[in-house]
Chain A
Amino acid sequence: MLWARTPYARAMETPIEQPLEFDHRHHTRDEGIDCRYCHNTVDKSSFASIPPTQLCLNCHSQVWNKSPLLEPVRKSFIDNKPLVWNRVYKVPEFVYFNHSIHVGKGVGCVTCHGRVDQMAAVEKQTPLTMGWCLECHRNPEKNLRPVSEVTNMTWHAEGDAEESGRVLAEKNDVHTRTSCTTCHR
Chain B
Amino acid sequence: MSSHDQDPPQDHPEDHARSTSPRQGEGASASPRRISLPIVDEALAATETASGAVREQRKYWRSIAEKEGSPKLAAAALREFPPGASELPEVSRRSFMKLFGGGAAAAGLAACHPSDEQAIPFVRRPEEVTPGNALHFATAYGVEGYGRGLLVESHEGRPTKIEGNPDHHDSLGATIRYEQALLQGLYDNDRAKQLKHKDEPLSWNTFLGQMATLAGRHAADGGAKLRFLTDPTASPLQLELRKRILEKFPKAKFTSYSSIAGDGAADGLRLAYGKYVEARHELTRAAVIVSLDADFLGEGPESVRAMRQFASGRLPGAPMNRLYVVEPALTVTGMSADHRLRLRAGDVAGFALALAAELGRRPGFAQLAGIASGGHGVTAGDPKWISAVASDLIKHRGQSLLMAGRRQSAAVHAVVAALNAALDNVGTTVTYATPLLADPLSGPKALAPLAEEIAAGQVDTLVITAYNPAYTAPADLKFDKLLARVPNTIYCAAYEDETAAVCSYIVPAAHQLESWGDARATDGTISIVQPLIAPLWGGHTDIEILSAFLGEGDLGAYEVLRRSWAAKQATVPGATGEFDQVWEKWVGDGVIVGTETTPEAALTLDGAAIQQGLGALLAAGPKGGGVEIAFVPDYKVLDGRFANSAWLQELPDPVHKITWDNAALLSPAMAKSLGVEVERDNDTFSVLVIEYKDRRVHAPALIAPGHADDSITLALGYGRTGSESVADGVGFNAGLLRGSDAPWFDRGAQVSLATGMHLFGLTQNHWSMENREPAIATSLADFENPRSEARELIEERRAALPTIHEPHDYSKEQYKWGMAIDLGKCTGCSTCIVACQSENNIPTVGRDQVVRGREMQWLRVDRYYSGELEDPEVIVQPLACVHCETAPCEYVCPVNATVHSDEGLNEMVYNRCVGTRYCSNNCPYKVRRFNFLDFTSETPAVRRLGMNPEVTVRSRGVMEKCTYCVQRIERKRIETRVAGRLIEDGELKTACQQSCPAGAIEFGNLNDLKSRVTKAQGDERRYDLLHELGTRPRTAYLARVRNLNPELAKG
Contact = CB atoms under 8 A, between A and B. Distances in A.
Contact of B121 (A52, A105, A184, A185): A52
Contacts of B124: 52-54, 80
Given A87-B117, A87-B118, A96-B967, A181 B977 contact: no
Contacts of A50: 119, 121
Interface residues of B, number: 44
B983 interface: no
Contacts of A184: 909-911, 952
Interface stretch (B240-248, B738-746, B853-861, B895-903): B895-903
B1024 to A, nearest CB: 24
A44 B133 contact: yes
Interface in A70-91: 76-77, 80-91
A120 interface: no
Interface SS of B by simple majority: loop
B128 to A, nearest CB: 12
Nearest to A44: B130
B123 A179 contact: no
Given A45-B133, A92-B111, A124-B114, A181 B966 contact: yes
A60 interface: no
Instruction: State which size class the interface on A falls in.
Output: 35 or more
A60 B132 CA distance: 27
Given A46-B132, A101-B977, A185-B963, A54 B125 contact: yes
A177 B813 CA distance: 12
A41 interface: yes
A49 B119 CA distance: 10
A112 to B, nearest CB: 14
Given A11-B113, A94-B952, A184-B952, A104 B123 contact: no
Nearest to A130: B112
B978 A179 contact: no
Interface in B84-127: 108, 110-125
Interface SS of A by simple majority: loop
A49 B122 CA distance: 10
A82 B123 contact: yes
A47 B131 contact: yes
Give the interface centre of B112, B131, B899 by most chain A CB atoms within 10 Å.
B112
Contacts of B282: none
A41 B131 contact: yes
B131 A45 contact: yes
B114 A92 contact: no
Given A44-B130, A77-B123, A185 B970 contact: yes
B132 A185 contact: no
Contact of B132 (A45, A83, A129, A177): A45
B905 interface: yes
B941 to A, nearest CB: 16
Nearest to A83: B121
A93 interface: yes
Given A52-B123, A85-B121, A185-B951, A96 B115 contact: no
B907 interface: yes
Contacts of A80: 123-124
Nearest to B953: A93
Contacts of B130: 41, 44-45, 49
Interface string B938-973: 000000000000111100000000010011011000
B980 interface: yes
A90 B117 contact: yes
A181 B117 contact: no
A96 B119 contact: no
Interface in A115-152: 124, 127-129
Contacts of A88: 114
B974 interface: yes
B901 A181 contact: yes
Interface string A22-49: 0000000000000000000101111101
Nearest to A38: B121
A164 interface: no
A110 interface: no
A124 B115 CA distance: 12
Contacts of B951: 185
A101 B973 CA distance: 9
A166 to B, nearest CB: 19
B149 to A, nearest CB: 27
Contacts of A173: 977, 980
Contacts of A94: 110, 910-911, 952
A113 interface: no
A61 interface: no
15 contacts: A16-B114, A41-B133, A43-B978, A53-B121, A53-B123, A84-B119, A84-B120, A89-B114, A94-B910, A127-B112, A173-B980, A181-B905, A181-B963, A184-B909, A185-B967
Interface of A: 9-11, 16, 41, 43-47, 49-55, 76-77, 80-94, 96, 98, 100-101, 104-105, 124, 127-129, 173, 175, 177, 179-182, 184-185
